[in-house]
Amino acid sequence: MKNPVSEKTGGGPTGEDPVVEIVARLRAISGQTGFMDVVERIRRLGCGQTMQRLLHRVPEENTLVRCFAAQAFGKARCRAAVPLLVCWLLHDQCRRVGTWAALALGEIGGDDAVAGLMERVKIDENRQARLVIRECHADSARMTARQAEWVHFDPLLEEARLAAVQVLGEMGAETAQALLEHVAADPAEENVTRKEAAAALARISGGGASRGE
């Protein structure tokens, strides 16, 4: 006879709280097998109260656990996790978590995921720093006076934003076309970001990869 806790809630054979067990397994992930076990447990939770408890619990965990959780929600195509993933993408203090959240949103798909990714592309915290750096390169006499502003450039901010650009292309997100056209044509953007925006536009016009379907 199947254990009812394991079958319906994703908990273990001992009847342990499935949220506690999933968090413990996220903390202990050391390989692909352990990761896929967590993904399957998340799939079995569905979208009920137990899932909501998990979504309220994982933000309290450390950076590594949040990164694993974002990946697991994406692999499980957990639609209930989209609001949390968008929050991490836009606001998590660890930008690497935001990058994994962007990739997870691409796996899950849907209009709400696209909207969150577009919002992240619109937020360009490094824009002023990039303009200052280019100004200093163009006029070395100004470099010493303004070099303190360079510290505001955060490569991980670029990483999360770049991931959002790439994922929008992979999703074939037609609603993001005008935004990506602006990014691709903006001379203030990083060259790699402009190139990825152009590549995303090409995917969209060609039908995209439609991740998350």
How confident is the model over 20-31, as a mean pLDDT? Answer: 91
Quick: pLDDT tens for 87-97.
999 999 888 99
Find the angle CA(6)-CA(41)-CA(2) to the nearest 5 degrees. 20
Percent of the chain predicted with pLDDT > 90: 62
Average pLDDT, whole number, for the chain? 84
Q: Evaluate if residue 117 carries a pLDDT over 50.
A: yes
Q: Between helices 63-75 and 32-45, what is the axis angle to 10°?
A: 60
Q: Which residue has the tokens 């280019």?
A: 134
Quick: pLDDT tens for 53-73.
999 999 999 999 999 999 999
Percent of the chain predicted with pLDDT > 70: 75
Phi and psi of 17, rounded to 5°?
A: -50, 120
- Name, in order, each residue with C-beta under 8 angstroms of 19's C-beta and a sequence gap of 6 or more: 50, 53, 54, 57
